Structure 1
Amino acid sequence: MNRTPKLSAYLAAASVLALAAAACSSGGGAQQEDTGANAEAGDLTIAMITHEVPGDTFWDRIRAGAEDSAANHGITLDYNSDPSASEQATLVRTAIDKGVDGIAVTLAKPAELQGAVQEAEDAGIPVVAFNSGIEEWQDMGVTEYFGTDESLAGEAFGERLNEAGAEKALCVIQEQGHVALETRCSSLEEAFDGDTETLYVDGSSMPDVKSSITSKLQSDEDIDHVVTLGGPFAMAALDSVSDAGSDAKVATFDLNKEVVAAIEDGTIEWAVDQQPYLQGYLSVEGLWLINANGNDIGGGTEPVLTGPSFVDADNVGEVAEFAEKGTR
């Protein structure tokens, strides 16, 4: 794997966090049962609110991590999602009305969530952000952030395309206006020496995704790499390449077990992993610590990074077992 020095530093930090999470979950229940912190934080209800699009398996791993952390501490996890930012804001307000002890929320479209997040803070409910909104969370007054550095991920992806000898990349965005997705493509374009074109598709309709990519490949034979921003869309892109009779290669952001298998058999070049399980786990863990002991992971000034890292033919075997279990 080729890594920039800055990327290697981020990955080292992410590895430390992964070990910390494992320590929390390994035998943690018995050890924490007798602590004063656990007693004081009993009977907590944590609301997790995401912009999940139905059918996107990425969110299964977010939720699995959150549920594991909640189970360790006897927390009631109230998970809700809606791809509409305005509906997400409504879900935040509903959580406020329920009097939850903490809210973990994704900030794909932060401007539309600003008011609801402020209302939670005014009500004395701690809010942490995860997965998206790394540039905005501090300005919104959010306590902690858990996720990947999308600018760095996009830059590293663009550099990897350069190393692969790519000349024209098609970057497929499944949700227009989503800050993290837009940043991935724009940062990739800045680092990539070849030509880049962005294609917007309807991520809620896989047939639309496939037909849109197929049509683009048929109309532009210069595209030699299709870049997708999620595991299910990478698998759709493989079908599109075949349907279009194209020689384009596919690489992606994010993993699922199908992508891992495709990397193993050589049909997908590589994936950039942001460790969604860890994002879900740490978001609940962070809110538990705030309630139990007044701790602030990251000190409220720095994001807690869970990636990015490359998964390719050289290291895919290291994550295949966990991908099959649904946690990578």
Structure 2
Amino acid sequence: MNAPLPAPPSPGSLGPTRLAALAAVCCLLLAGCSGAASSGSDDAEAAGRSGARLKVALVTHGGEGDAFWELVRKGAEAAAAKDGVDLTYASDADAAGQAELVRDAIRDKVDGLAVTLAKPQAMRGPVAEAQAAGIPVVGLNSGIDAWRSAGLLEYFGQDESVAGRAVGDKLDALGAQHALCVIHERGNVALEARCAGVKKAFAGETEMLYVDGTDMEAMTAAVTARLRQQPGIDEVVANGAQYALASVKAAGKAGSKAEVATFDLNKDLVDAVSDGSVQFAVDQQPYLQGYLAVDALWLHRTNGNVSGGGVAPVLTGPAFVTKTNVAEVARFAADGTR
């Protein structure tokens, strides 16, 4: 028969030093039992399992107040919140200004960069400087033909040439004969590729009209004037939701029967497709582009992942939004994510 265990000493029988030591041991044991499951906290994991939050800069060529770029930013912010990333967003429609914003991010010693390559040549220098500083760079939205040669890790966006050809095919199916493709930013490779794709696939006549996208009144006036000069134009193809809505007004002012279609959409454009004032929109999902770009940098830092293997883009479009499916998109547009 085993001898009975001795009774534990009473607190009163311990000296002050031994009592303090016993209390410390109990605290450690309690902490070990209650904290084991949360020792790798969500914040630490989101910070790349390193204890420090990842700093990411998203630098685009978006114009100030442009609803499209607000969707990109909103997606990026959603990914940053999920991943525990400190995100900085900056934009400049001027290529030199965008390049300087990238250099600002490099000087700020960010851990990752997401950039657009609307004018690839202007971005080669700052992207190379980021790479020399050991900063991974991913691309989004613009530059699908330039991201690999620029040395970017990944790319998220729409193949604009493919999207343009898809629009050309759709115009043929709708019976259009003469299209006016409106380019609101001269030299933007994405916009040029879209209209070139339309022209390549469309069996009818395609002409380009270059306008100043920063001046909506001037842009509307230019489209109005061309529609008056060319009454045979039966389709206006815009390259952004606000430019499509302005083109609807222009057609009304010109007394033109031209229909309006567009690349990209926002809440107001969804309403216009619903009521038939805009025939259709091509959605490249800007919210998704911003989200994937930030999330990709976090995944690369935490797990070494490279979407597309570094050789293929991750496509976010094109997807057609027409009167037949616009209701499915409308509920997301109401939440500000489409």
Structure 1 residue 31 displacement after superposition: 9.7
- 1:166-194 deviations in Å (ceiling 9; x for gaps): 00000000000100000000011000000
Give the match's secondary structure for 1:142: coil
In structure 2, what is the Cα distance between the partners aligned to 1:146 and 1:208?
32
Against the structure 1 CA distance between its residues 160 and 111, is the aligned structure 2 distance closer, same or farther, given a 3 Å change threshold? Answer: same
Give the match's secondary structure for 1:72: helix
Structure 1 residue 325 displacement after superposition: 1.5
In angstroms, what is the RMSD of aligned CA positions?
A: 1.5
- 1:30-71 deviations in Å (ceiling 9; x for gaps): 995575874237411100000011232100100000000001
Partner amino acid for 1:52? G
Structure 2 unmatched ranges of 5 or more: 1-39
Matching residue of 2:36 = none
Give the match's secondary structure for 1:146: strand
Q: Does 1:299 align with 2:309?
A: yes
Give the match's secondary structure for 2:56: strand
Q: How many residues align?
A: 299
Matching residue of 1:119 = 129
Matching residue of 2:156 = 146
Q: Does 1:220 align with 2:230?
A: yes
Matching residue of 1:22 = none
1:101 to 93, 111, 135: 111
Against the structure 1 CA distance between its residues 92 and 262, is the aligned structure 2 distance closer, same or farther, given a 3 Å change threshold? Answer: same
1:224–1:249 contact (8 Å) kept in structure 2: yes
1:261 to 262, 266, 271: 271
Output aligned runs, 1:150-165, within 5 Å. 150-165=160-175
Matching residue of 1:231 = 241
Moved over 6 A (4+): none
2:58–2:114 contact (8 Å) kept in structure 1: yes
1:134 to 144, 150, 163: 144
1:322 to 307, 332, 337: 332
Structure 1 unmatched ranges of 5 or more: 1-29
Q: Does 1:168 align with 2:143?
A: no
| TM-score (norm: length of structure 2) | 0.86
| TM-score (norm: length of structure 1) | 0.89
1:40 to 35, 43, 50: 50
Give the match's secondary structure for 1:63: helix
Matching residue of 2:250 = 240
Structure 1 residue 91 displacement after superposition: 0.7
Q: Does 1:75 align with 2:75?
A: no
Give the match's secondary structure for 1:305: strand
In structure 1, what is the Cα distance between the partners aligned to 2:106 and 2:156?
21
Structure 1 residue 219 displacement after superposition: 0.7
Partner amino acid for 2:123? L
Q: Does 1:182 align with 2:161?
A: no
Against the structure 1 CA distance between its residues 125 and 208, is the aligned structure 2 distance closer, same or farther, given a 3 Å change threshold? Answer: same
2:248–2:260 contact (8 Å) kept in structure 1: yes
Question: Which is bigger in relative contact order (C-alpha 8 A, separation at least 6)?
Answer: 1
1:230–1:254 contact (8 Å) kept in structure 2: yes
Q: If you compute each CA radius of gyration, which structure gives the higher value, 1 or 2?
A: 2
1:60–1:326 contact (8 Å) kept in structure 2: no
Give the match's secondary structure for 1:176: coil
